[in-house]
Amino acid sequence: MIKIIIVAHGNFPDGILSSLELIAGHQEYVVGINFIAGMSSNDVRVALQREVIDFKEILVLTDLLGGTPFNVSSALSVEYTDKKIKVLSGLNLSMLMEAVLSRTMFEHVDDLVDKVVTSSHEGIVDFSTCLATQTAEATFEGGI
């Protein structure tokens, strides 16, 4: 099983995990690490090390490219040569749901990353573009 770790600024990980659970129920091997005021990059590193210890295939989702969560996660992905750790930035709920709900279809995290990145790009749309192709009612009827 591919483990998913969310590392982001503030309490964003807790919040997005709460949203995920509301929509898709509790998910095993999906955890969050909050990078809150007073924490150092080393604190994030230690928390990440604790989470990756028992897994070989890991997807780390971060909020900002170049932010501390991304930088620490990226450094760890290079250092742990015995594990396959992939790090993505730009986390949003659509990305997280795609990762969680698709991970059982893939044995390797590389394949999951391809799917998640493609879906994430497709999930960011301008509403006016939707209106040009179909009615808003048909597009958003029912919700999730």
* CATH at residue 53: 3.40.50.510
* pTM (global) more than 0.95: no
Q: What is the pLDDT along the chain (144 residues), one digit of tens a residue?
A: 999 999 999 999 999 999 999 999 999 999 999 999 999 999 999 999 999 999 999 999 999 999 999 999 999 999 999 999 999 999 999 999 999 999 999 999 999 999 999 999 998 989 888 777 765 555 556 666
Q: Are 64 and 89 in contact (CB under 8 A)?
A: yes
Number of independent structural domains in the chain: 1
Q: What is the CA radius of gyration of the chain?
A: 16
Q: By residue range, what is the domain housing residue 63? A: 3-140
